[in-house]
Amino acid sequence: MSATNPAAGSHDLARLRSARAFIFDMDGVLYRGDDPLPGVSDLLAAIQRRGADYVLATNNSMASPEQYEGRLAVMGLNVPASRIQTSGTATRDYLRQHLPAGAAVYVVGMPGLKEQIHDIGGFAVAEPAEGVSNTAAVVCGLDQTFTYDKLKAAFFAIRAGAIFIATNIDSSLPTATGFVPGAGTIVAAIRTATGVTPTVIGKPSPEVLIQAAHELGATPAETVMIGDRLDTDILAGNRANILTAMVLTGVSSMDDITESEAKPDIVVAGLPELRQLLEDGQPAL
């Protein structure tokens, strides 16, 4: 395990260099806040030179793929929306598989998530109230305008029989100025109020990674997950039997690995070190 440790496993390095598909987390891996992290463009170019492909997969549901495309462009990163998967798009697809068209869904989240569920997904806007039972699902993501009234609406809908879905349960979110509470804190409030555990769509669910690999024409054995969080990115990769590479530019640290259920196959300081491993096959000392 690791490029920061010279004893990187030769099998892991071989899998890295032969990989056909790369899945990148975004926050804490490609950028922090509005600032790109070093080595992003060089690594993406190196992947494509090798004839491999990549997709960006974030647990953040606050923006649409098109909005992320624009945000990345401002940072000098040209990634089309077609290469960007959010927990909001994954949740939309999940609802389409499990609910009838036009079903009423109550969304606790930002406009980007509501756009995926209502405008693109085609689900009706629900307005839950005490004694009203026409809401099919409650979807919760990170909501920077979360209020007690929203908590009550979710409570009434779930207690009346609506299914409870979380886009992700991240406890924190890295920003340019430090960490802030993540969607998991809001999910926890609704779970505590209702006593109902949600279905979690984003990482650490392995399905989102397996689907991403499939869309890139690769098997899990031919895929690499690159992330900064042990409890989401790396755990999802472990569960999907995908090679995992953890960068130390985001949430988790080397010290966290000892106590974690999730174990990365490779650990690097950042993306430049990962590119060196990919191209040279040798630890970056």
Kindly report, residue by residue over 23-55, the tens digit of the pLDDT.
999 989 999 888 999 999 999 999 999 999 999
Whole-model pTM? 0.83
pLDDT at 281: 63
The token pair that represents 48 in the structure block: 């494509």
Catalytic, out of 12, 25, 231, 233: 25
Per-domain residue ranges of the chain:
10-59+203-280, 99-200
Amino acid sitting at position 70: G
Sign of CA dihedral 213, 229, 77, 19: negative
| Strand, helix or coil for residue 59 | coil
The token pair that represents 104 in the structure block: 């009423």
* Residue partners of 183: CB distance under 8 A and separation at least 6: 59, 61, 140, 141, 142, 143, 166, 167, 168, 169, 170, 173
On the question of a common fold for 10-59+203-280 and 99-200, the answer reads yes
* Per-residue pLDDT in tens (0 to 9) along the chain, 285 residues: 544 443 357 899 999 999 999 999 998 999 988 899 999 999 999 999 999 999 999 999 999 999 999 999 999 999 999 999 999 999 999 999 999 999 999 999 999 999 999 999 999 999 999 999 999 999 999 999 999 999 999 999 999 999 999 999 999 887 778 889 999 999 999 999 999 999 999 999 998 899 899 999 999 999 999 999 999 999 999 999 999 999 999 999 999 999 999 999 999 999 999 999 999 865 443
The superfamily (CATH) of domain 10-59+203-280 is HAD superfamily/HAD-like (3.40.50.1000)
Per the CB < 8 A criterion, the answer to whether 191 and 27 are in contact is no
The two most distant CA atoms of the chain are separated, in Å, by 63
- CA-closest candidate to residue 182, choices 250, 258, 115: 250
The superfamily (CATH) of domain 99-200 is HAD superfamily/HAD-like (3.40.50.1000)
List b or e across 217-256, with b for residues whose CB sees 16 or more CB atoms inside 10 angstroms. ebebebbbbbbbbbbbbbbbbbbbebbbbbbbbbbbeeee
Active site residue 119: no
Active site residue 27: yes
Catalytic, out of 12, 27, 228, 265: 27
* DSSP assignment string, 250-261: SS--HHHHHH-S
